[in-house]
Amino acid sequence: MSKEIFVLNGPNLNKLGTREPEIYGSLTLADIEKQCMDKAASLGLTLTFRQSNHEGDLVDWIQEAAEKKAALIINPAAYTHTSVALQDAIKAGGIPTIEVHLSNIHARESFRHKSFVSPVAIGVICGLGAQGYNLALDALATHLKQDND
């Protein structure tokens, strides 16, 4: 397993900072990317950080991560609750994946309680805002170290 991490973000996350800040916080996606880049560098990891509103882009990037034997942090956003395609891509790729959500999806509308990604992830972090990405990076760094020991 490489020391590369793909951080993929789904639909509407490009609107962070202005979209419902009472739920998602005031940081922009660019702010979160910078935090992730700094954290990854401190852990000796390389990072590819991307966002798309299109499910097929996310599937393509998951496949790219698998080809590179990279680990994955994914905030699938609304696709969490609808996308068998994301689940299949992660499962087929066989790469360690952590699902991240800024809000606590279990404290929101009932349709948000079901995740198609969770069954193929090694962990899920939700409700901790942007800090969840850094926690996911820490967890993957530990996971990758254990795999290489």
Q: What confidence category does residue 143 fall into, taking pLDDT thresholds of 50, 70 and 90?
A: very high
**Full domain range(s) for residue 69:** 4-148
Structure tokens at 86: 């994301």
Q: pLDDT tens-digit profile of 17-34? A: 998 878 888 899 999 999
For residue 56, pLDDT over 80 is answered with yes
> 101 catalytic, yes or no?
yes
> 79 catalytic, yes or no?
no
CATH at residue 124:
3.40.50.9100
69: left (phi over 0), alpha (psi -120 to 50) or beta: left
Q: In total, how many domains does the chain have? A: 1
- Residue among 54, 81, 101, 133 flagged as catalytic: 101
Q: pLDDT tens-digit profile of 74-117? A: 999 999 999 999 999 999 999 999 999 998 988 787 877 899 99
